[in-house]
Amino acid sequence: MLQAQIYIDKDEVHGSQPLYEYIVQFLLKQKVAGATAFRGVIGFGEHHQMKRPDSIFSFDEPPIMITFIDEEEKVLHTLKELRKRITSGFIITTKVERFQI
């Protein structure tokens, strides 16, 4: 199995829709096993500027991470199709095992 993590800014859009919503809906249409979007509390990116979206008077865009896990072939195909539609964001993949008792 393969896990994909997609990192974007919350304020990014695709057309008139928030990018994170577009990506999750895209993953649903691709019939991946499941996906979750997480909102970052604090972080920084390639410009090394701290982002604290929950701070008083902060106008920082919070980071979003969307993660999904499926069979390796499915994940790679889905990411290839997603990259045809969007070019922003940072994507990593990691091989994972399902833990079963």
E strand or H helix at 77: helix 72-85
pLDDT of residue 65: 95
11-48 tens-digit pLDDT: 899 999 999 999 999 999 999 999 999 988 777 777 77
Q: Residue 63's closest CA among 52, 78, 79, 77? A: 52
Mean pLDDT of 67-89: 96
Helices H / strands E in the chain, number of each? 2, 6
**HSE-CB of 16 using CA atoms within 13 angstroms:** 0
49 or 6, which is more confident? 6
Share of the chain above pLDDT 90, in %: 65
Q: Are 26 and 18 in contact (CB under 8 A)?
A: no
Helices 72-85, 19-29: crossing angle, 10 deg rounding:
130
Q: How far apart are the first and last CA of the chain?
A: 17
